Structure 1
Amino acid sequence: MGAPNTDSSSSFLTDKSAKIFVAGHRGLVGSSIVRKLVSLNFTNLILRSHAELDLTRQSDVDAFFAAEKPDYVILSAAKVGGIHANNTYPADFIAINLQIQTNVIDSSFRHGVKKLLFLGSSCIYPKFAPQPIPESALLTGPLEPTNEWYAVAKIAGIKMCQAYRIQYHFDAISGMPTNLYGPNDNFHPENSHVLPALMRRFHEAKVKGAKEVVVWGSGSPLREFLHVDDLADACVYLMENYGGLEHVNVGSGKEVTIKELAELVKEVVGFQGELVWDTSKPDGTPRKLMDSSKLAEVGWRPKIELRDGLVDTYKWYLENVKQ
């Protein structure tokens, strides 16, 4: 357990004019972090789209850091996708993610960044990790084969932060979020995750006046969900209060069955038809819960209840996703 930062001269929250580079600011996570920092009156956010700065190009990243000299870096940029994408493009998932994080972490150290937060994913853990999954489960068994390329890259990012801390005393920390949802999620019909996929399907069924929606599996697997605005809040908290070697799990600590989730989404969307379970289809992992007690010990807990978060997300969907 790393000791919280007590050096008041390096307090993240006190310097509102500090230059903060949020890498991946247009994604689900990055956009939420930007909203959070703006709400806290940070005035000097450095944001670059992929077209403006290709993080896979080492020389471009180095030139950017040399010119901008950010004080803090939050690294949420990554190539992400579902099972189909991971199986189809394994080289992209390992190479692009390794390039992005290696370039950003190394340039951050060499150009005097005060603190860096690297964000990963719960898929870093072994396929058969104990439940709830503690941080200590890392590298204790084989990974889930369908996303091991992405997972290996993220594990390398954690280890890189640790190595730079050990060798150079660089204040690099890592946070590993559970399943996230919220504004700016991916609602694509084919390659979105379970929660946005359900929301889109119930909404379209409601609009068409459909009698039923068929969902894969039995509905029995347990999953944990965290609203992305809670993650953004946790990121700020870690930047202010954590300076340890070990990565930190960021979860809600609450599980719901896929069946409970589907019923809740159905209710929030207002679909009046039947929910039918196709039990001939696979269920996936029976349970996947992260142990976030370490983060609770440091002093942070989530605030957004699942139902409230779903209402907020559906409102965003109606306003922003082309019908």
Structure 2
Amino acid sequence: MNLQTTDSKLQTSGIAKGSRIYVAGHRGLVGSGIWRALERHGYSNLIGKTHDELDLISQQAVNDFFAAEKPEYVVLVAAKVGGIVANSTYRGQFIYENMMIEMNVIHAAKEHGVKKLLFLGSSCIYPKMAPQPMLEEHLLTGPLEPTNEPYAIAKIAGIRLCDAYNRQYGTDFISAMPTNMYGPGDNYHPQNSHVLPAFIRRFHEAKEQGVEKVECWGSGSPLREFLYSDDLAEACVFLLENTSYADVAFEDETGTVQSHVNVGSGKEVTIKELAETVAAVVGYEGIIEWDASKPDGTPRKLMDSSKLRKLGWEPKIELREGIVRAYADFKERCCT
């Protein structure tokens, strides 16, 4: 039985512009984009707390926050994130901290009567060798990519908690699975960043220092999909305003009702092509070498986002234009 609606002319959810909307993780790449998008759409009563103001790993602190602030809607973006190196190095932290954040916020949302919650996951929830492009139904149909398995397991737990609460308590909690993100507010740390911002930093520094050769991990052959953060932010506002659990829910082959939806650009490039594009945008004209002894990660990761497109959302920002904008953000934030 397919529980997903096929009607693309969805009715808006009637969220009042003055509704109290809590964006957990509002200062990060994705959270800051969602905050800006909500403001663009006229929402004026947004709630954001820094880690120093609210430790989401503490159940008591989270419960006290919900009791005091009484958010009506929640967007859960807060997470410990990183690239291959960070995921491989901090495996215990990635699974523990992410699961604690998710469990505390989702449970508090249920306990305090939040009208709607949107949980942000990741494309890494899907099996390493999942059919391409990856459908929502491919969740838990095979082994995960070992390099980021702890993070993926934590995100899967968050999805399943939303599904379980919807069925047991009648909540309206849905999960969005974005592909690889980049854009304003990204993390450009030399060791702990994702591949695209890492390339921006490395090629910029190589250009500034006159380095003739840049060595990159892997063979350069894996295929990846990228989505600009403002496109994801618009998708999240669209989901909040226009969809409910019933609109995205479906029953998989095991009879389990799930309520997550893919959010991607639908376009993919090789890591080698990505490196060359970033180098061109940055203005680096040296040699790019590939160290095939280093791990490539999953060979291909393209998500099927047709469900969301049928509901009415489309991305707008092409990869090269997005990289130009991201590089401008890098220079403003990291080079001044």
- Counting aligned pairs with the same residue, the percent is 63
The equivalent of 1:236 in structure 2 is 237
Residues 272-283 of structure 1 aligned to structure 2 (within 5 Å): 272-283=285-296
Report the residue type matching 1:195 in the other structure.
L
Q: In 2, are the aligned partners of 1:205 and 1:271 still within 8 Å (CA)? A: yes
Residue 280 (structure 1) shift: 4.5
Report the residue type matching 2:327 in the other structure.
Y
Residues 192-271 of structure 1 aligned to structure 2 (within 5 Å): 192-243=193-244, 244-245=248-249, 246-271=259-284
2:60 equivalent to 1:47: no
Normalized against structure 2, the TM-score is what?
Answer: 0.90
**1:304 paired residue among 317, 326, 332:** 317
Q: In 2, are the aligned partners of 1:2 and 1:242 still within 8 Å (CA)? A: no
User: What runs of 5+ residues in structure 2 fail to find an aligned partner?
Assistant: 250-258
Per-residue Cα deviation, 1:242-267 (whole angstroms, up to 9, x for no partner):
22332001110000111211111111
Report the residue type matching 1:56 in the other structure.
I
Residue 100 (structure 1) shift: 1.1
Work out the CA distance in 2 between the residues paired with 1:51 and 1:281: 37
Q: In 2, are the aligned partners of 1:56 and 1:96 still within 8 Å (CA)? A: yes
The equivalent of 1:89 in structure 2 is 90
Report the residue type matching 1:75 in the other structure.
L
* Number of aligned positions between the proteins: 320
Per-residue Cα deviation, 1:30-84 (whole angstroms, up to 9, x for no partner):
1111111112221100111111111111111111111111111000011122333
Q: In 1, are the aligned partners of 2:10 and 2:243 still within 8 Å (CA)? A: no
The equivalent of 1:11 in structure 2 is 14
Residues 98-109 of structure 1 aligned to structure 2 (within 5 Å): 98-109=99-110
Residue 6 (structure 1) shift: 5.5
| CA RMSD between the two structures | 1.7
**2:4 paired residue among 2, 5, 11:** 2
The equivalent of 2:256 in structure 1 is none
The equivalent of 2:75 in structure 1 is 74
Moved beyond 6 Å, runs of 4+: none
Report the residue type matching 1:52 in the other structure.
E
Q: Secondary structure at the match of 1:186?
A: coil
User: What runs of 5+ residues in structure 1 fail to find an aligned partner?
Assistant: none
Work out the CA distance in 2 between the residues paired with 1:247 and 1:282: 29
2:336 equivalent to 1:320: no
Q: Secondary structure at the match of 1:95?
A: helix
Normalized against structure 1, the TM-score is what?
Answer: 0.94
Q: Secondary structure at the match of 1:277?
A: strand
Q: In 1, are the aligned partners of 2:87 and 2:147 still within 8 Å (CA)? A: yes
2:143 equivalent to 1:142: yes
Q: Secondary structure at the match of 1:226?
A: strand
Work out the CA distance in 1 between the residues paired with 2:44 and 2:31: 16
Q: 1:230 to 1:54 in 2, by over 3 A?
A: same
Work out the CA distance in 1 between the residues paired with 2:175 and 2:66: 20
Report the residue type matching 2:79 in the other structure.
A
Per-residue Cα deviation, 1:194-239 (whole angstroms, up to 9, x for no partner):
1111111111111112223222333222110000111101000111
Q: 1:108 to 1:283 in 2, by over 3 A?
A: closer
Q: In 2, are the aligned partners of 1:124 and 1:143 still within 8 Å (CA)? A: yes
Q: 1:91 to 1:212 in 2, by over 3 A?
A: closer
Q: In 2, are the aligned partners of 1:219 and 1:259 still within 8 Å (CA)? A: yes
The equivalent of 1:151 in structure 2 is 152
Residue 278 (structure 1) shift: 3.5
